[in-house]
Structure 1
Amino acid sequence: MSKRLLITALTLLPSWLFGQSVWTLRSCIEYGIKNNRNSVIYDNEKKAADAQAKEALAAYLPAVSLNGTLDDNLKVQQTVIPAGVFGPEDIRVAFTKKFNTNGSAQLDQTIYDQSLIIGLKANKFNKQQAALNQRKSEETIIYNITNAYYQIFIYREQLGMLRTNLEKYQQQMNVTSQRVNKGTTLQKELDKVTVDYNNTMSQIVVSESNITLSENQLKYEMGYPIKDPLTVDSAAVAGNLHVVAPALAENNIFSAHTRTDYQLSQVNAALLDIDQRRIKAGIYPRLTAYARYGAVGFGDNLGQSFSTMSSYAAVGLKLSFPLLDFFKRNAQYTQAKYKQLNAVEQLKLDEGKYQLEYENAKTKLLKEQSNVENNKRNIDLAKSVFDVTNLQYEKGTTDMTDWINAQNSVKEAQNNYLNSLYNLILARLELEKTAGTLKTFYTAL
């Protein structure tokens, strides 16, 4: 039985391995938007804004309060009826008893409060602010995940190039070692290529470590368990590079209004304007209606104070007119006024700043595009020079120093190309960020 189970497990194992999903950039971002902790925070803020709107509206809805009192008058207060009313002398009389109970229910309804009416207009902007903060969080997640995702690709490309270079060094070491054994080449020639071989081995270790660090960073940005495997296929990444290739035609027309940061500033200015008008409206009277129903009882003992309770009811209007708070309200209004004016000026500054950031990102993208093309050509040229030098070395018409210099030129061209390719990816991300189109970039993947 145990052998049969073992054979079954071995049969199923390959299908399990091949069933592991390969994560695309889109699937990583989709997972991150749902699972990154920041998404939970801003989603909660959106729900809090909805609750805040209900709270503000509740101030204009009927409010019912229940009140009850029980007094034990340890010493009953007396009052005096002046002489001449009921007799020639003052009369001391108590208008209550030792125990006094009172219970009432009151309904209050705001009829008119201009300050409250204006404040209700902030509900719409509070909801917009929460939604924009949530959108900004998603844009940050998209940016960070894309950055980490392509870092993995760059380091894997670097690792592949280093391993190819290592093979060349190994081949050269084998050839040179044979020549040293035959006495046709000095030991120092072998030592030169051995040094570069060892350096490349060290660079491979660093590159492998960088891949692991980048994978962990990607998992963190996604909200993915750090210890769980995450497979990013290099071929799929290379196929997606067209997404980060320059597409300036898509972003030729710039508008600061597409930036989430700018929209947040607009909402902030609108909220400050509402706050300014709300404070100013504090000068108007407030009209409130109320209805009250209750019962009151008096007695020489506690039981009597409940058994003798008699009911009462009242309805009425209350008009409040603030008079002596002018200086305080005026100071608050002045502060709110200048805060709102500064917010409007900041909008104008932001518009110019965002335009500058966009133009700089566009210029940098064109520059990095040119760098990638040049460095790609340099790799081909360096390889061509190396092939010629390698052939010359095999024929004995050049020495090891020229061979190593040619190989180092290939390595330098490879590093320059990878750096420029990563800078191109970052430049495209910056262009999407400054144009306010990161979510469009994500949906187009």
Structure 2
Amino acid sequence: MKHQLYIFLFCLSWAIPTKAQQKDTVATFTLNQAISYAQKHQTSILNAEIDEQIAKNTVKQTIGIGLPQLSANADFNDFLKMPTSIFPDFISPLVYKAFTDNNVKDGNGNPITMPPGLGGSTPVQFGTKFTSSASLQLTQLLFDGSYLVGLQASKTYKELSVKNTKRTKIETTVAVTKAYYSVLVSKEQLALIDANIDRLKKTLNDTEQLFKNGFAEKIDVDRLTVLNNNLVTERENVIRLLALNVNLLKFQMGMTIGSTLSLTDQITTINVDSTPILNDGQAYNRRIEYSLLQTQQKLNELDVKRYKSLFLPTLAAFGNTSANFQDNKFSNLYDKSFPSTVIGLKLSLPIYAGGQKTYQLRNAKLEALKTQNNLINLQNSIDLEVSQAQTTYLNGQKSLENQQRNMDLAKEVLRVTKIKYEQGVGSSLEVTTAETSLKEAQNNYISALYDMLINKVNLDKALGNINY
């Protein structure tokens, strides 16, 4: 028992550190790796792939309708009370009529007459107490127009599920990309704030020394202290926002929120095309939404064909073989069987059903017409979306370039202002104003950078360039 306890404690001592080490493992991803991870773990994609498998099974299920159908049946009956049938007495009246027609006399020489009540009905019991049977039935559909159309529709339904999976993957790619960019922008914003805090702390320390030596006023120190406190508070807010964006990225990737995630891409490595992206007018042909609606149109057209096929006859072949057993004693029930076999054809021809099929066909044609109108509307909507996304993207490019210049200019203004202040030809208010202007320029730059990245994703999506 002691040896077993020692072995258990030894294994436990190795298992606990290993588990802790696994918990602290950091998952590192580039943008493409994050997208690939999401394609395998995002719940919406997993469900879409399950729907795709369901569609495949539905196709096989539909095919099975046209295959031979074989069934077996067996039964056993014990008649506790035998069923009774009422039979009319039609023989006695015929006999007495024959006597009458032939002038047959009774023993006294009188004509024979039919007694009253003769010729009524008599209760009769037929059958045996125990009966049993076993049978096999085979049916084969030879022709059914609705089945043939349904077979085509099931394959189109499978195609629809595949395209829906693709749409889900594209939407996941867009969501992961935007979340990834949000984290990178937050990290860039945090880096700018840290640089501002380091620079401001140096200025604050220098000003405090000048104040101690009587070369600066206390208000100069106070102004810089306020700026420093604001930057520290803003840094804490950005850190919380960064953590929130990281959790959002985990969610979009299908990771657990408790996982540790690290990004390898940097904001400076993202390639943003500065050349104008022109719309060739064919973006809707690359959009999965348009392709899905086209598939829906095919389903509507097949629906029209299905309702037309309901006016056609159906033909099926069948065969049945059975063995019947009967006896008044249960012990002798299965001693002898009475076999029966039959084959045949069954033709069903619809003649009139109150006009239901006619109106069903009309509604199916109207649904197909609606889908055609939706295709035209979606084409116009995609062209409009591309135009808007392109305009927003180009405006974002100009805005980002302008905010970059403003931030560089604000840095230069702050540098010159600090030199003037240190040389005694400038005021601390100018330094404070320059610090505030730089922080505002940096915030504007971060906002423009984020908008630029998101606008690029939206434009790629509008043009149908995001495929997975």
Q: TM-score, normalised by structure 1?
A: 0.89
SS of match in other structure, 2:242: helix
1:237 to 243, 260, 266: 266
Residue equivalent to 1:79? 85
Distance 1:85 1:366, change over 3 A: farther
Residue equivalent to 1:351? 379
1:295 to 313, 320, 323: 323
Correspondence list, 1:365-404, <5 A: 365-404=393-432
User: Aligned AA for 1:211?
Assistant: L
How far the C-alpha of 1:247 sits from its partner, in A, is 5.6
Distance 1:410 1:124, change over 3 A: same
SS of match in other structure, 1:283: coil
Q: Which range is displaced more, 71-80 or 420-429?
A: 71-80
Give the distance between the partners of 2:280 and 2:394, measured in 1 at CA: 13
How far the C-alpha of 1:193 sits from its partner, in A, is 0.9
How far the C-alpha of 1:356 sits from its partner, in A, is 0.5
Deviations along 1:112-139, whole A, 9 cap, x unmatched? 1011111111122111111111101111
SS of match in other structure, 2:320: strand
Give the distance between the partners of 1:311 and 1:355, measured in 2 at CA: 73
1:191 to 222, 236, 258: 222
Distance 1:418 1:252, change over 3 A: farther
Q: Is the 8 A contact 2:26 2:260 kept in 1?
A: no
How far the C-alpha of 1:198 sits from its partner, in A, is 0.2
Distance 1:81 1:248, change over 3 A: farther
User: Aligned AA for 1:311?
Assistant: P
Matched, 1:259 2:287: yes
How far the C-alpha of 1:399 sits from its partner, in A, is 1.6
2:59 to 53, 56, 76: 53
Matched, 1:43 2:49: yes
Give the distance between the partners of 2:287 and 2:256, measured in 1 at CA: 32
Matched, 1:163 2:194: yes
Correspondence list, 1:8-407, <5 A: 22-85=28-91, 89=119, 90=121, 92-233=123-264, 236-238=265-267, 240-242=269-271, 244-246=272-274, 248-249=276-277, 252-407=280-435
Distance 1:239 1:164, change over 3 A: closer
Give the distance between the partners of 2:43 and 2:56, measured in 1 at CA: 20
User: Aligned AA for 2:373?
Assistant: E
Deviations along 1:394-419, whole A, 9 cap, x unmatched? 12222222111111111111111111
Structure 1: give runs of 5+ residues left out of the alignment. 1-15, 441-445
Q: Which range is displaced more, 250-259 or 334-343?
A: 250-259
Give the distance between the partners of 2:134 and 2:190, measured in 1 at CA: 83
Give the distance between the partners of 1:253 and 1:401, measured in 2 at CA: 56
How far the C-alpha of 1:343 sits from its partner, in A, is 1.3
Give the distance between the partners of 1:247 and 1:261, measured in 2 at CA: 27
Q: What's the C-alpha RMSD, in Å, of the aligned pairs?
A: 2.1
How far the C-alpha of 1:286 sits from its partner, in A, is 1.0
Q: Which has the larger radius of gyration?
A: 2
SS of match in other structure, 2:83: coil
SS of match in other structure, 1:438: coil
How far the C-alpha of 1:238 sits from its partner, in A, is 3.2
Give the distance between the partners of 1:52 and 1:388, measured in 2 at CA: 74
Give the distance between the partners of 2:359 and 2:37, measured in 1 at CA: 50
Q: Is the 8 A contact 2:279 2:387 kept in 1?
A: no
Q: Which range is displaced more, 50-59 or 37-46?
A: 37-46
Distance 1:73 1:247, change over 3 A: farther
Residue equivalent to 2:106? none
Give the distance between the partners of 1:274 and 1:268, measured in 2 at CA: 10
SS of match in other structure, 1:439: coil
SS of match in other structure, 1:93: strand
Q: Which range is displaced more, 385-394 or 252-261?
A: 252-261
Q: Is the 8 A contact 1:245 1:425 kept in 2?
A: no
Give the distance between the partners of 1:28 and 1:246, measured in 2 at CA: 25
How far the C-alpha of 1:20 sits from its partner, in A, is 6.5
Q: Which range is displaced more, 181-190 or 203-212?
A: 181-190
Q: Which range is displaced more, 355-364 or 272-281?
A: 272-281
Distance 1:230 1:21, change over 3 A: closer
Give the distance between the partners of 2:190 and 2:263, measured in 1 at CA: 15
Q: Which range is displaced more, 297-306 or 77-86?
A: 77-86
How far the C-alpha of 1:428 sits from its partner, in A, is 0.9
Give the distance between the partners of 2:353 and 2:77, measured in 1 at CA: 36
Q: Which range is displaced more, 55-64 or 19-28?
A: 19-28
Q: TM-score, normalised by structure 2?
A: 0.85
Give the distance between the partners of 1:101 and 1:40, measured in 2 at CA: 52
User: Aligned AA for 2:270?
Assistant: L
How far the C-alpha of 1:392 sits from its partner, in A, is 1.5
